[in-house]
Amino acid sequence: MTEVNASIDFVPGFRVAGVAAGLKKNDALDMTLIVSDTPCVAAGVFTTNYVKAAPVLFDMEVLQGNKDHIRAVTINTKCANACTGDQGLVNAREMARQTAEKIGCGLDEVLVMSTGVIGSQLPMEKIGHGIDLAAGSLGSDWAVAAAGIMTTDTRPKMAAVAVTASNGKTYHIAGIAKGAGMIAPNMATMLSVIVTDVTLPIDTAKGLLQSASETTFNRVVVDGDMSTNDTLLLLANGVSGVTLQSPDDFTAFHEALAAVCRKLAQDIVRDGEGVTKFITLTVRGAASPEVAHQIANTIATSPLVKTAFFGNDANWGRIVAAAGRAGVPIDPDLVRLWIAPGETEDFNLGSLLLFTNGMPSGYGEEQATAIFKESSVSILLDLGMGLGSATVWTCDLSHDYVSINGDYRS
């Protein structure tokens, strides 16, 4: 397992800033700028929601024409610039233009992200002010940059790894993310920028990013809602001088990239709105990995399952029932269900079998309740029907989630 740091010291060739542009109250950080001193190979993965925000549409268009000389990403909070019509696209473009002007690059070398309330136009005077501030304060403080993209997040989310290539040289991969609510796969509702100083081939950057995100950002659930703004970007500036030359180099890069994505994705769940429990949910024995994921995601989004965990109620029948309504055939007589304290995919030790042969296993209720009370719980559902498996990270659903989202705009 790749060791991932929860902080970012620096990534050669990249500079960042997080500033208070006045979008939030009380001088809170609300805009972030990430700049590469040299052109980057870039790739993006975006929301599959049919209602896409203006910055998503803008970035998708930019990356169609430019995949090898991206220089910057500008991110604002408080306003999602979604459901804003033609004016929203104009504003997204103007946000990129002003950034390009300040750092000295072309309009098509800047990508933009927005997060916040849907249906409001960007306050362009404040956006321009934020771009001015950020361009004038670029440095290596990634913690400030990570804080500048937070919405209902309670803490910044960062991840970094250093990798030694086959030629003995070292390169870096680092990323920041935001997300706490509206978290569901395809993609998980979030914004994230991952940067690296390795040289990446244009034709493989997108594939590597998609593969890494499929088992990380597309495997987390807080509430089952999908955003209009989900964006994951990868920028590679090649400053390290490291080129991926061998299959082992590509494998090492992919594993490190996935490790960074996994850390950020799991941090989003841990910091989910009102979350008190982190749940690792594995489904195995399915006809295919896709079927396993479909069933796992159905369980992970079930309000009844999530509230049972919040209430420390070992009501495992809700897990089995959710699996049975996932839209794929299962045989309850073949299904087995275990729970275990902590974060694990190994259920050989310390686990409790709850359900087997179509009925309860005869477990001890007190032992099951004690596991449900843990702050981290792991679930294994074995369908006994094949070799497909999938792991999803989810959480409970608390009173605080309702309170946070009941007055989100106030």
- Distance, C-alpha 135 to centroid of its chain: 26
Token pair recorded at residue 267: 């941090």
Token pair recorded at residue 197: 């100083």
pLDDT of residue 345: 75
Most distant CA pair in the chain, distance:
69
pLDDT of residue 242: 96
Contact 369, 320 (CB under 8 A): no
pLDDT of residue 187: 43
> CB within 8 A of 178, min separation 6: which ones?
77, 115, 146, 149, 150, 151, 153, 157, 190, 191, 192
| pLDDT tens-digit readout, 100-139 | 999 999 999 999 999 988 899 999 999 999 999 999 999 9
pLDDT of residue 1: 64
Token pair recorded at residue 335: 């299904």
Distance (Å, whole) CA 71 – CA 110: 6
| pLDDT tens-digit readout, 220-258 | 876 555 678 889 999 999 999 999 989 999 999 999 999
CATH homologous superfamily for the domain 14-270? L-amino peptidase D-ALA esterase/amidase (3.60.70.12)
pLDDT of residue 308: 84
CA distances from 95 to 27, 72, 122, 348 (A): 21, 12, 9, 54
376-382/278-286 β-pairing: parallel
Closest CA to 244 of 167, 309, 296: 167
> CB within 8 A of 364, min separation 6: which ones?
none
Alpha-carbon Rg for the chain, nearest whole angstrom, is: 22
The domain segmentation of the chain, as residue ranges, is 14-270, 278-406
Residue numbers annotated as active site: 189
Cβ burial of 330 (10 Å; 0-12, 13-18, 19+) is buried
Within 13 Å and on the Cβ side, how many CA atoms surround 393?
A: 27
pLDDT of residue 219: 87
Distance (Å, whole) CA 259 – CA 295: 24
> CB within 8 A of 409, min separation 6: which ones?
117
Q: Which residues pair with 74 in a beta bridge?
A: 33, 112
pLDDT of residue 402: 60
Beta strands in 129-248 (DSSP E): 157-164, 170-178, 191-196, 231-236
Closest CA to 32 of 138, 109, 122, 161: 138
| Residues belonging to the chain | 410
Distance (Å, whole) CA 170 – CA 172: 7
388-395/352-356 β-pairing: unpaired
pLDDT < 50 regions, the chain: 181-189, 404, 408-410
- Options 3.30.950.10, 3.30.2350.10, 3.10.20.340, 3.30.70.100; which CATH number does 278-406 get? 3.10.20.340
